[in-house]
Amino acid sequence: MAKKAETGVKRSTETARSLFRSKSHASIQHMFDEVAPTYDFLNHLLSLGIDNYWRSTAARKAKEFTAGNPAPAILDVATGTGDLAKAMSAIPGARVSGIDLSSEMLTIAAQKYPDISFREGYAENIEFDDSSFDIVSAGFGARNFEDLLQGLKEFHRVLKPGGHTLIIEPMIPRNPVLKNLYLVYFKNVLPKIASLFSKSSFAYDYLPHSVEEFPQTEEFLTILREAGFSKASYRPMTFETSILYIGQKEG
């Protein structure tokens, strides 16, 4: 019996890893369409409510970067249920749009925030003109892009010269003690809690594997620079459990 359970866990781990490595728009869309109804509830529960603090940190930076601009144009990519777009919309005069490939996530976003303009779209092929936005943000989305470099090149293309991208991702703490604690929670506790509520418990097996395999800190900055952001930096948050990347398009 124990052996059977172990085999099951191993299979689920392998499936989660292989989805991350060979992810496509279709597989990601399917997963997020499934998690959409419980996404917000689980997000706040599993992060103990800190996720909103991470989004408001990004929005504060956006406000700082657009100070003096009476009507900053902001695009939130992989907007999901719209919480980062909403945080950005608190910037006075901001005109915020959100795009995502999951129609189920977008339906919830539009119900929650009817004043924000949401539409279906792909990070890798953003349907806006060059130099349209002062800020392009993405919260917990870049990790899921089918083609990360192409997505970041699109962020760069649609930004105005001097504009900024703000990207939040989960982070695996570099301190070995914190890292071990975090991975035990992330791999063993979080998927079990999620499976009690979500239609797609698989999504919460995928989550820790996607974070473990995703480039972080300097490695991610290298990709941001390759995408055109010659000025790029990062700021770890909350004991390095989350990270904010900042890139600026040359002015």
Ligand X SMILES: C[S@@+](CC[C@H](N)C(=O)[O-])C[C@H]1O[C@@H](n2cnc3c(N)ncnc32)[C@H](O)[C@@H]1O
Binding region for ligand X (CB under 6 A): 28, 32, 78-80, 83-84, 100-102, 105, 122-124, 139-141, 144-146
Confirm or deny that 81 is annotated as ligand binding: yes
The Cα 99–Cα 79 span in angstroms is 6
DSSP state of 82: S
Rounded to a whole number of angstroms, the minimum distance from the CB of residue 35 to ligand X is 8
Half-sphere exposure of 94 (CA within 13 A, CB side): 28
User: Which residue, among 34, 24, 116, 38, has the nearest Cα to 76 in the 3D structure?
Assistant: 116
CB of 7 or CB of 90, closer to ligand X: 90
Rounded to a whole number of angstroms, the minimum distance from the CB of residue 226 to ligand X is 18
CB of 101 or CB of 194, closer to ligand X: 101
Residue nearest to ligand X (CB): 80
CB of 9 or CB of 17, closer to ligand X: 17
Rounded to a whole number of angstroms, the minimum distance from the CB of residue 143 to ligand X is 8
CB of 124 or CB of 134, closer to ligand X: 124
Longest dimension (CA), the chain: 65
Helices 218-226 and 148-158 cross at an angle (nearest 10°) of: 60
Q: Which residues of 111-120 are buried (b: 16+ CB within 10 A; e: fewer)?
A: eebeebebee
Please report which residue ranges of 47-189 form alpha helices under DSSP H.
51-65, 83-88, 103-112, 148-158, 176-184
Rounded to a whole number of angstroms, the minimum distance from the CB of residue 194 to ligand X is 13
Give the residue ranges of the annotated binding site.
81, 100
Give the residue ranges of the annotated binding site for S-adenosyl-L-methionine.
81, 100
